[in-house]
Amino acid sequence: MAAIGTNINQAAELLKAGGLVGIPTETVYGLAANAFQEDAVVNIFKAKNRPAFDPLITHVASMEMLTTLVLEIPEDAHKLITKYWPGPLTVVLPKSARINNLITSGLASAAFRMPRHELLHQLLNVLDFPVVAPSANPFGYVSPTSAAHVNQQLGDKIDYILDGGECKIGLESTIISFITEQPTILRLGGLSVEDIEAEIGKVAVNTLSTSKPNSPGMFSSHYAPTKPVVLGEIEDLLEENDFRKIGILSFSKKYSDYPNFVLSQRASVEEAAKNLFTGLRWFENQDVEMIITENAPDKGLGKAINDRLNRASRSK
Ligand code: TXA
Ligand code: MG
Estimate the crossing angle of helix 118-126 against helix 8-16, to 10 degrees: 50
Contact 12, 33 (CB under 8 A): no
Identical fold for domains 3-205 and 229-313, yes or no, is no
pLDDT at 223 over 70: no
Ligand 1 and 86: CB distance under 6 A: no
CATH 3.40.50.11030, domain 229-313, yes or no: yes
CATH T-level assignment (fold) for domain 3-205? DHBP synthase (3.90.870)
Estimate the crossing angle of helix 193-200 against helix 75-84, to 10 degrees: 120
Pocket probe for ligand 1: among 215, 223, 276, the residue whose CB has the most ligand atoms within 8 Å is: 215
At 61-77, the pLDDT tens digits run 999 999 999 999 999 99
Which atom of ligand 1 lies at the shortest distance from residue 30's CA? 6
Which residues make up the environment of ion ligand 2, defined by Cβ < 5 Å? Answer: 135, 217
Ligand 1 and 134: CB distance under 6 A: yes
Of the pLDDT bands very low, low, confident and very high (cuts 50, 70, 90), residue 219 is low
Domain boundaries, the chain: 3-205, 229-313
How large is the C-alpha radius of gyration of the chain? Answer: 19
Strand intervals (E) in 60-146:
89-94, 109-113, 131-132
User: What's residue 226's pLDDT?
Assistant: 78
Ligand 1 and 174: CB distance under 6 A: no
